[in-house]
Amino acid sequence: MAFTAADEYLIHQTPYTFDRVATSDRNFYDRYFFNGYRRDGEVYFALAMGVYPNLGIIDAAFSVVQKGREQYYVRASRLLGSDRMDTRVGPISVQVVEPLKKIRLKVAKNRWGITADVVFDARSFPNEEPHFLRMAGNVPVMDYTRMTQHGAWSGKFACNGVSYDLSKDTWWGSRDHSWGIRNVGGRDPRGAPPTGIPQFFWNWAPVNFDDLCTLYTVSELADGTRWHESGVILKPYPDASEEEAAVAHDLRFAKGTRWLEGATISLAPRKGKPIDLEFKPLYSFLMKGIGYGDPKWGHGMWVGPDEVDGGMYDLSLEPPMANLHVQQVSQVTAGRRKGIGIFEIIVMGPHQQYGFKDLMDPAG
């Protein structure tokens, strides 16, 4: 244990210093996620940064898609050390300028030519999603809290020789901050191996409109039983408000894939009229570009004491069935409203409603 700047504040939750968490579970993590998109959808970027105290690792990645064709990324990983306030990994850093309102992301010069100095300004209240708890028998495999927030971007970033000037009226996005227990650092080597066909059905879709923000998310078992769900309708600042809503989904899968070609999401508040969101995907962002599921650079994986890497995916050559976890950048309509957002999806294993029977059978 070591004293650091965080220990000066009256915010301790355990009898220990801040470099030690309350649980000894190897899978404890604390992570930022951000995305941003130009309102015409032609450019998209995302950043992830995670801390894994019981693995001794902090990692981060920044990735950009241009015109839905190529996805560039730079990523970094290092020894965590004791100072939790030091959110710098290689060229990537995150600075909390004003909690819950303004966050600054930076990517310093590197040999992969991706740089950034951008600021996220909140458009909506931060929304605390219902707590995530998923069990495998009597073992918790997910036990975490997540906050999601819509925002607008300003600043500059560059990728592949192209520079972008961001302004809050033309660049929107969303972010989340989650912490708790979920699988990190590769498959947990402890205990008995899983039995049965793996199954995971995950939807998460924050959307921005001029006068409205929405969030839909569900996680379901193979028979459609929901173990997590949330729907929220938010009004942006300065007259910010939020209202919970019941959710329903009608997903349309592209033939030969488990990616969407379209979706209708219904949000039904307790008072007022339901809102039907129509999603038209433009292209898919591969979540492995920011560490989700990458076999070497996955979250919490040890790659060295201070390492930086980068590269590019040609999206036309990436098989959808080898990339189940994507965020599909989408045009979204709600009646006369026109907006933009993402539909994050993973469908692995059986799901009765959509006719999936095996681990990896594609849509017919």
* pLDDT tens track, the chain, 364 positions: 689 999 999 999 999 999 999 999 999 999 999 999 999 999 999 999 999 999 999 999 999 999 999 999 999 999 999 999 999 999 999 999 999 999 999 999 999 999 999 999 999 999 999 999 999 888 889 999 999 999 999 999 999 999 999 999 999 999 999 999 999 988 777 677 777 899 999 999 999 999 999 999 999 999 999 999 999 999 999 999 999 999 999 999 999 999 999 999 999 999 989 999 999 999 999 999 999 999 999 999 999 999 999 999 999 999 999 999 999 999 999 999 999 999 999 999 999 999 999 999 999 9
Quote the Cα angle for 297-302-303, to 5°: 65
| Beta-bridge mates of residue 340 | 208, 331
Q: What b/e string do you get for 203-230 counting C-beta neighbours within 10 Å, with b at 16 or more?
A: bbbbbbbeebbbbbbbbbbbeeeeebbb
Q: Which amino acid is at 167?
A: S
Residue 89 · residue 31 · CB < 8 Å: no
Distance CA 350, CA 296 (A): 27
Nearest to 309 by CA among 319, 296, 299, 300: 296
Helix (H, G, I), strand (E, B) or coil at 322: helix
* Ordered domains of the chain (ranges, CATH): 22-187+195-354 (2.40.370.10)
H or E, element range at 310? strand 306-314
Distance CA 250, CA 70 (A): 29
Distance CA 323, CA 330 (A): 18
Enter the tokens of residue 6.
Answer: 């965080």
Distance CA 25, CA 247 (A): 33
Enter the tokens of residue 127.
Answer: 């929304």
